[in-house]
Amino acid sequence: MASKQYNADPHVFLDSGSTTFLVDSNLAPHMTLRFRTSLGIAEFVHQFGFWIFDIADISKQFPELAADIKIPEFFEKHQFFSSVFRISSPGLQLWTHYDVMDNLLIQVTGRKRVVLYSPRDAQFLYLSGDKSEVLDVDNPDLAKYPLFSQARRYECTLEAGDVLFIPALWFHNTVAEEFGVGVNVFWKHLPSECYDKTDTYGNKDPTAASRAVQILDRALKTLDELPEEYRDFYARKMVLRIQSKSYSSNFE
């Protein structure tokens, strides 16, 4: 049966023949999140009562589990965004990325290693969108990613019952050290209107940041109209202006 890739999210692949359902990452084989069922999409939704693109909420999708978890009261009810149920097989690794919302990572069973990097170290992480290109943070290819050695690594291991607060914009990656179940709870700590209304996963940049990036892309295209020497000079001036106007000394 021919397989078709739908573009709803880079990590979600569905089979057009509607007999196979895959949630996958093609970033690197050892980072593949894979879920396969012989149910068709309509049947899957019917049986499980939710559709993968719905905003995750364990109280609706896994009420028995939700009843067992007392989420610490770090935020007001109206700020709740999602609670994501995570099952990890041993060795499953999630690449280094940031989320735009604060979240709690609750380890229900099993053990998971979490490595974090500060948003201030973004310049050492070789970002592509919200992810770091450095996939193997334990044995990084320093010939390819020389600045990575300057990123300060924070590490912890979550055991059953542990809860980790991951602040928005903090980079993190996880490795399941044994089979485990966890729940992520995301909430909006900025005013609602700052967030992209089409965001299902809590990882789309705030709308003002996305607009700024689009404007920057247009500016870069405009710089391309100049000869190399001038482009270089004006690009450096722009970097200095961004640094002096937008960097904050509060986070040094």
Ligand X SMILES: O=C(O)CCC(=O)C(=O)O
Q: Which range in 42-50, 73-81, 98-106, 221-229 contacts ligand X by CB under 6 A?
A: 98-106
Cα Rg of the chain (Å, integer): 20
Q: What DSSP line would sit under the chain, residue for residue?
A: -------SSTTEEE-TTSS-EEE---S-GGG----EESS-HHHHHHHHS--TTSPP-HHHH-HHHHHH------S-GGGEEEEEEEEE-TT-EEEEE--SSEEEEEEEES-EEEEEE-GGGGGGS-EETTEES---SSS--TTT-GGGGGSPPEEEEE-TT-EEEE-TT-EEEEEESSSEEEEEEEE--S-GGGS-TT-SSS-SPPHHHHHHHHHHHHHHHHHTTS-HHHHHHHHHHHHHHHHHHH--GGG-
25 binds ligand X (CB under 6 A): no
Of 101, 103, 134, 201, the one binding ligand X by CB under 6 A? 103
Of 83, 96, 132, 174, the one binding ligand X by CB under 6 A? 174
86 binds ligand X (CB under 6 A): yes
94 binds ligand X (CB under 6 A): yes
Structure tokens at 179: 């089979």
CA distance 29 to 91: 12
Give the residue with the Cβ less far from ligand X, 11 or 231: 11
* Nearest-approach distance from CB 33 to ligand X, in angstroms: 9
105 binds ligand X (CB under 6 A): yes
Site string for ligand X, 184-213 (x = CB under 6 A): x-----------------------------
In the complex, residue closest to ligand X by CB: 174
CA 221 to chain centre: 28
Scanning residues 125 to 164, which ones bind ligand X (CB under 6 A)? Answer: none
Q: Which range in 2-10, 74-82, 99-107, 227-235 contacts ligand X by CB under 6 A?
A: 99-107
Scanning residues 209 to 228, which ones bind ligand X (CB under 6 A)? Answer: none
Of 25, 81, 96, 99, the one binding ligand X by CB under 6 A? 99
> Tokens 């992480």, residue?
125
Q: Which range in 2-10, 68-76, 97-105, 230-238 contacts ligand X by CB under 6 A?
A: 97-105
57 binds ligand X (CB under 6 A): no
Give the residue with the Cβ less far from ligand X, 94 or 151: 94
116 binds ligand X (CB under 6 A): no
166 binds ligand X (CB under 6 A): yes
Binding site residues, ligand X, CB under 6 A? 86, 88, 94, 99, 103, 105, 166, 174, 182, 184
